[in-house]
Amino acid sequence: MPIAMHIAYAVLAFVLGSIIGSFLNVVILRTPLHQSIVKEPSHCFSCGHRLAWYDMFPIFSWIFLRGKCRYCGEKISPRYMIVEAATAVLYCLAYLVFGFRLELAFSAVLFAVLVVLSAIDIDRFEIPYWCSITTAVLGVIAIFVFKETPWHERLIAMGVIMVIFVILVLVGGMGGGDLQLMIGASLLLGYKVFVALFIGVLTGAVYGTVKKLRDRSDEKEISDKLKRLAEEWYQNQLDQNVGYVTEGHDDIIVGSISEGDPDIEWEFLDENVWRGLPDKAKLSRELRKNITDEREGGFKIFIKGDKIERVKYSRRMVFGPFLGFGIATCWLVGGHLINWYLSLMR
């Protein structure tokens, strides 16, 4: 194929990717809300003005409008543009790597799924079930159509991934959704899935460290507030003689904050070591009234004897986008990465 033709197809893949990306934005926003994907016309989320076609031009509309609504001037999240650009770049890379081979069709589905699950994971801290299923279906088809990776390699990879993930989920940080995704990915990638996991964990850890530093003062503030409220409540319980006095026992209150709404999982509290029944509703009420942090986070309040010993609060971290990045990288160039690494060993 002449080089000019090659470039034309690469540009076409980019444009097609950006259009698919703008459709994915709709999927990302509406599927978690169980809204129809096609029924409602697109509109500004701030002023409700219906968008014209030139407002919905992938990537470029956002750039030309400088990230603001044409009608009300309200800021539009760069997320829409990022989703479109990411899909466009991935589609373009898929063409450059695979040309018009069957892998290109796989890439089109896989990359769309990875972009969607990354964004939904960031929004809602969960990877939709259908995204993991779709990845797994691609993996199962791959067993039959891409025989250069033998089926037993894919199954062994899947088994090992499951063992690794049991540990990762127990240690904390990763969730069940991450495991489901990686099971599908191991069928699709074979041993390359370990490189994908490595890339995902590594980039995730780098981001996690940056985030920890950035969030540190906010986290401190919220955890101090939690501690103060818990202390007031606990002192009140002690005064009412329900407070917990059993020597040598520690107790713990576990909860999470989601969309500015603290929620306590009371089943973690061991009421047997309390003198009376703690007024659980009172603490829930106090927290709801005073803590309105919009970011997702979890907390633990440690009680020891007659005082609140300490409070641990941290904002939650997602791994979906990083695993997705690892999977996409290994799907595209995983073989090259492994060969390059092996050549270093020689």
Which residues contact Zn ion (rule: CB under 5 A)?
A: 44, 46-47, 69, 71-72, 74
Token output for 249: 């026992």
Of residues 7 and 47, the one with the C-beta less far from Zn ion: 47
Token output for 132: 């993991």
Best CA proximity match to 321, nearest among 118, 184, 132: 118
Of residues 46 and 235, the one with the C-beta less far from Zn ion: 46
Cβ at position 84, least distance to Zn ion in Å: 19
Residues in the chain: 346
Nearby residues of 286 by Cβ (< 8 Å), 6 or more positions away: 229, 232, 233
Of residues 74 and 261, the one with the C-beta less far from Zn ion: 74
Token output for 213: 């530093």
Cβ at position 65, least distance to Zn ion in Å: 10
Handedness of CA 219, 220, 225, 226 (dihedral sign): positive
Of residues 76 and 108, the one with the C-beta less far from Zn ion: 76
Of residues 76 and 193, the one with the C-beta less far from Zn ion: 76
Long-range contacts, stretch 146-150, CB < 8 angstroms, 24+ apart: 146/102, 146/103, 149/189, 149/190, 150/190
Cα distance between residue 309 and residue 251, in whole Å = 10
Cβ at position 286, least distance to Zn ion in Å: 38
Beta strands in the chain (DSSP E): 250-258, 261-265, 297-304, 307-315
Cβ at position 43, least distance to Zn ion in Å: 8
Of residues 43 and 220, the one with the C-beta less far from Zn ion: 43
Give the DSSP per-residue string, 7-41: HHHHHHHHHHHHHHHHHHHHHHHHTTTT--SSSSP
Cβ at position 270, least distance to Zn ion in Å: 51
Cβ at position 73, least distance to Zn ion in Å: 7
Cβ at position 45, least distance to Zn ion in Å: 8
Token output for 21: 């990306």
Residue 31 amino acid letter: T
Contact at 8 Å (CB) between 209 and 294?
Answer: no
Give the DSSP per-residue string, 172-200: SS--HHHHHHHHHHHHHHTTHHHHHHHHH
Of residues 32 and 73, the one with the C-beta less far from Zn ion: 73
Cβ at position 64, least distance to Zn ion in Å: 15
Of residues 2 and 48, the one with the C-beta less far from Zn ion: 48
